[in-house]
Amino acid sequence: MFSSDSIRPKQRPGSGIVDTARGTGKAVSFTFDDGPNPRDTLRLLDVLGRHRVKAVFCLWGDHVEEHPDVVRHLVAAGHTLGNHAMHHDDMSGWGPERIRADLRATSAAIQRAVPGVRIPYFRAPYGAWGSTPSVAASLGMQPLGWQLAVTDWEPPGTGELVRRLREGITPGAVVLLHDGGGDRGQTVEAVDRVIPLLKAQRWRFTLPELGC
């Protein structure tokens, strides 16, 4: 049976990592990692636009440099950006100065694509935090965790992803999904199917909390 417990990020007490959506009651935040990816990110933008949902896209720096036009589409559509490191490395054993250099390089790549854009969130690749939360916070970025990951990187099939989302979402959850790092067509289709189902149950789509 599917369980998200083993893939929740290791969060230390007092680390400042947020995994909660803004608002009370049936609020949920959708977040997408590892893009931009022209094929699936642009399809996902169409889906989110039709359903009038805003999300957070945590961007992989190498992919930003390859596809700056897709970053511009994200911002033009009103979505919020996150820093997801330059090369998607496990940073848990890195020292603060090495982390700082990587996060600055990633943010610089994003801002070359969209000058002046805000980057309010940082998510550590693999949820391997180490010293990254305090460094990210010192650079003005909220460390962003999650409450539900549906392992869409497997991928297990669109119907299974829909089931995991419907059964796994709880009030205030930040949900981890992926628009890059591989073929994410199943994720795009699952999001398209699940949003109307959730809205029919009076769920609201908000952004994650910001504590920085």
Residue type, 145: G
Residue type, 49: G
Counting every residue written for the chain, the total comes to 212
Q: Max alpha carbon distance in the chain (Å)? A: 47
SS3 29: strand
Angle, helices 38-51/68-76, rounded to nearest 10 degrees = 0
Q: Which residues contact 70 (CB under 8 A, 6 or more apart)?
A: 35, 36, 37, 38, 41, 42
Which residue in the list 40, 178, 179, 192 is annotated as catalytic? 178
Active site residue 178: yes
Angle, helices 68-76/96-113, rounded to nearest 10 degrees = 70
Which residue in the list 33, 40, 102, 192 is annotated as catalytic? 33
Active site residue 88: no
Tell me the β-bridge partners of 143.
Answer: 122
The answer to whether 17 and 143 are in contact (CB under 8 A) is yes
Catalytic positions:
33, 178
